[in-house]
Copies of this chain bind each other. A is one copy, B any other.
Amino acid sequence: MDKKEKLVEAITPINEDFAQWYTDICLKAELVDYSSVKGCVILRPYGYAIWENIMHLLDARFKATGHENVAMPLLIPESLLQKEKDHVEGFAPEVAWVTMGGAEQLEDRLCVRPTSETLFCDHFAHVLHSYRDLPMKYNQWCSVVRWEKTTRPFLRTREFWWQEGHTIHETAEEAIAETEQQLETYADFCEKDLNIPVLKGRKTEKEKFAGAEATYSIEAMMHDGKALQSGTSHYFGDGFSRAFGVQFTGRDNTLQYPYQTSWGVSTRLIGAIIMTHGDDEGLILPPAVAPVQVVVVPVAAHKPGVLEKARELAERLGKTFRVKVDDSDKAPGWKFAQWEMKGVPLRLEIGPKDIEKEQCVLVRRDTREKLFVRWDELETAVPSALAALGQSLFDRAAENRARRTWSAATMEEVLSHAEENGYIQTMWCGERACEEAMKEKAGLTSRCIPFVQEHLGDVCPVCGKPAKQMIVWGRAY
């Protein structure tokens, strides 16, 4: 057991230094490596496998709702980026510029895409003719580049991997319904597949996407009480269509502008998984996206029959689950610690005594609860243990969020809660000045105006004027 302890010692305790604990997990669970390109990380096989599972599950959801994948160029001519005024103002300061192709200086600089609205609009203008072509519901899986100053694996890197959906519709109603549907898809995916409860709402004018009429987001609360914006869905109205001359012949034979949306989630979701579910032993992965759902560890593997039985059970379970047998020459204690660090939801131990009893031991990563399971009951015990673990991850996160959510009617109340990280719900007049004052006085930024509203009073706690809605404040990654 000393090797196990040694390995565990190597992580900073979660409540001692959360930031260092996070970095330790990113590296020691072998999710990422730092690269020679400042601010860019490498997704290692285990980290990328989580992203592959996320892509696979989301892609199926997108396709089931009629979306199609495409691939756009990764470079955008400066002249194209400049067509929509708010958009270029929002993104131009943080892009990487290609100024030379081979030995030749380019006349029109190209930026590495920070997001692809401009390219999609340009394409829509080519291929859209009639209302019969609508809706066009496209998505692409790719990476984008934003020249961030301070970076952190998964949360903020100069390059990150994501999907960006871009759709155009005949009517505003349809586009708004699409925006809402995609936010709902993200929320459902986070809650069901990642076991992360999320808050759904609308971003303020200050926080909305550059060029959007409205931005909706899902906000997750991390273990330390900070918020992580985990997915966004934007409604553009016909602003981009007008800026890019995207038009179609309508049912009444007149030329019309389509209404547009875009929506995205990124490898940030892996950061959300780490910071929502992890503990002092390392990562805890939601079963739906865990690259290995069950790790089989033979105990006293040199004894006759042990390795064979371990492999036999693994093969049986492998028909339904992602299973790995750890038959390396390391000691069982070392293996236990390593796979706990990597967050594998279930460990299946099997040794000579288990074989005598025709049983094995299932150990849950989150609670370390041990279940003695007869071989012939494995096919029901494993899915039920995985489901219980998923539910319990969700419940634990929901409890953390409930414990760290406060309502405040006055600035005094806001300030008293703001010493801790969490969500502070208040009424709000809707003015940007009060949003900025909240940042200055309490260090809080607006997370969202939740879809589910509560009446917490009649006035804005900042200015005392009549309130329009409830808003949620917090500190965010």
Question: Which A residues contact B (CB, under 8 angstroms)?
Answer: 33-37, 40-45, 48-49, 51-52, 68-77, 80, 93-104, 110, 112, 119, 122-123, 126-127, 138, 142-143, 145, 147, 158-159, 161
Contact = CB atoms under 8 A, between A and B. Distances in A.
Given A49-B68, A93-B102, A98-B96, A73 B123 contact: no
Contact of A33 (B37, B127, B147): B127
Contacts of A122: 35-36
A75 B147 CA distance: 12
Nearest to A43: B71
B100 A96 contact: yes
A291 to B, nearest CB: 10
A76 to B, nearest CB: 7
A272 to B, nearest CB: 18
Nearest to A94: B102
Given A97-B100, A99-B97, A74 B42 contact: no
A70 B48 contact: yes
Contacts of A40: 73, 75
B45 A69 contact: yes
Given A74-B74, A75-B145, 19 more contacts: A34-B126, A35-B72, A36-B122, A37-B110, A41-B73, A42-B72, A42-B119, A42-B123, A45-B138, A49-B68, A49-B69, A52-B69, A71-B161, A74-B143, A93-B102, A93-B103, A94-B102, A98-B98, A104-B147
A110 B96 contact: yes
A109 to B, nearest CB: 8
9 contacts: A33-B126, A37-B110, A42-B73, A42-B123, A44-B127, A74-B145, A96-B98, A97-B98, A101-B147
Contacts of A142: 143
Contact of A123 (B33, B123, B138): B33
A104 B138 CA distance: 34
A138 B45 CA distance: 8
A29 to B, nearest CB: 13
Contacts of A126: 33-34
Contacts of A44: 70, 127
A98 B69 contact: no
B74 A48 contact: no
Contacts of A97: 98-101
Given A35-B123, A97-B99, A42 B69 contact: no
A105 to B, nearest CB: 10
A51 B71 CA distance: 10
Nearest to A119: B35
Contacts of A73: 35, 37, 40-42, 159
Contacts of A127: 33, 44
Contacts of A51: 71
Contacts of A70: 42-45, 48
B33 A48 contact: no
Contacts of A93: 102-103
B102 A99 contact: no
Nearest to A69: B48
| Candidate in A36, A69, A126, A159 with the most chain B CB atoms within 10 angstroms | A36
A112 B165 CA distance: 24
Given A95-B102, A97-B98, A102-B147, A74 B112 contact: yes
A133 B78 CA distance: 45
Contacts of A49: 68-69
A95 B35 CA distance: 20
Nearest to A37: B73
Contacts of A123: 33, 35, 42
Nearest to A80: B36
Contacts of A145: 74-75
Contacts of A69: 45, 48-49, 52
A380 to B, nearest CB: 26
| Candidate in A43, A49, A75 with the most chain B CB atoms within 10 angstroms | A75
| Candidate in A44, A48, A74 with the most chain B CB atoms within 10 angstroms | A74
Contacts of A45: 68-70, 138
Nearest to A122: B36
A375 to B, nearest CB: 28
B98 A71 contact: no
A133 to B, nearest CB: 11
